[in-house]
Chains A and B, each alone.
Chain A
Amino acid sequence: MPRSLPEDPLIRRLVQQARASQLSRRTVLAGGVGGAAALALAACAPESSGGPTPATDQSDSDPTLKWANWPGYMDEDDEGNYPTLLAFTEQTGIEVDYLVEINDNNEYYAKVRDQLALGQDIGADLITLTDWMAGRLIRLGYTQELNEANIPNKANLVPDLLNVGFDPGRTHSLPWQGGFAGLCWNKEKLPNGLKTLDDLWDPELAGKIVVLSEMRDTMGLILLDQGIDISQDFSEDDFNAALDIFREKVTSGQIGAVRGNSYTQDLINGDAIAGIVWSGDVTLINGEVGSDLFEFAIPESGGTLWNDNLMIPIGSPRKKNAETLINYYYEPEVAAEVALWVNYITPVVGAKEAAVAIDPEAAENQLIFPNEETLAQVKTFRALTGAEEQSFSTAFQSVLVGA
């Protein structure tokens, strides 16, 4: 039974007031249960069938731009500034926030995929992803169509890269840089260098090997070593045979680490003395250690060739700014400046001439301007079907968790 109300009139009134505004238990419970049920239903709601819609472009009122890129992929001076980006800001008034936040395609995609699916701003107006991942984003409708009127320099694109399978005519993407995956070693510890993958599996190097978490590069090199042409239609059995080799090397401890772009740290701090790496990074690593300690080579059995592609995510409200920036980096002189610093293959026609004007020896640099002979040594990993992608990447990742 409720207690009788207090004598004091003031307190009595306060108590009555408080009682009047009480919720009954039934109401509270009903509300709670109803809410939870609604939320549970919402959580199970099917994803909408149509793709996300592009954000409205606010570039004219908002002269800024966020660009997500990989480490060591932009010319940098001693103070850590990016000269070509500063020049771009001076020229166009667009402030660029350059984010070095992509370490691995899968890792980055996992971070942004939910926002992409909802058409939200992912915190980057321009992203740089490798061919196969670029293909996935474009296929899923997660990128905005490029307006060619804003990118007249698209005409400078190397013709070979115009009609790629994942983006015919390059309506949604343009290459940033390309490169090879190959072998790299510490010249002090390994004066004889590495020529084949077998050299990498030398027991002397046990635990001192780092390889890429990029399946197409690491598996690509192993497949090529098995005499399989990765650009042609190889079978699942071929892949599994190569995977067995990879698994054996990981389980036995021959491969000490499997990393994204952070593999450079393993080489710099001495945890690894050789590995499967990306071509241009070697110059950067040597810059960090302060000598020409490391050397890169494409293995005799062949290396992989890939491109990283600039794309504008579906939720970016600064599309025109991004296009202006792409256009800027397709100026041969600018492209040459970047390429000479990053040591990757530039996709811009005329960059070679511009680079030679800066550094006459650049024309011979096979990492930036590969000749026919070099290109004959590398292959592009073929496009995988959805089912293959699922099964190959599951198999690859399960090796990394020891399953």
Chain B
Amino acid sequence: MTGTVEAELEQFTRGDIQAFETLFREYQGEVYGWIVRIARDPGVAEDLTLETFWRIYRARARFDPHRPFGAWARRIATNLALEHLSRRRAEKPLHDDLPPRAAACAAPDPALSAEVRANVVAAFGELPAKLRAAATLAMIEETPYEEIAEALGISVSGVKSRVFRAVRLLRRSLEKRGVRP
């Protein structure tokens, strides 16, 4: 870490709003980009980005300026995104829980029948939040396992295990619905 960045981080920990603004502007895109990969909804990702920085701002006094800010921000963002997925799973009926179809994200393949897609989405929505996040990042977003592990605060083998469990549950759920990928 360069001296300038460290000095800025020190100023931020002391509550300097300008230093926080600099950090915010530097990292908001990165934090948003990470959250939208998990939540797959731009509106939700914006809200969670703001919440991430709000938590960062409130916890500034506890931050060690010698540690990387980006990794800290990403960890907080990941936890918030996981909380969001858990809440959504608890609140919404399964057919509405569409991480893949979320507005303004990529559109589904039109060649895929609506019925198959609905089944895939329903099966995906049944996964526990931690497994869903790992599966989304690894299988849809093709994020490297090392990157996922760092953000989730687990080992690479932990990520592989979550993806494996997600795949097993998904396959079982899809087979029950008559879909055989």
User: Are A and B co-members of a single complex?
Assistant: no
Q: Point out residues on A near B: beta carbons under 8 Å.
A: none
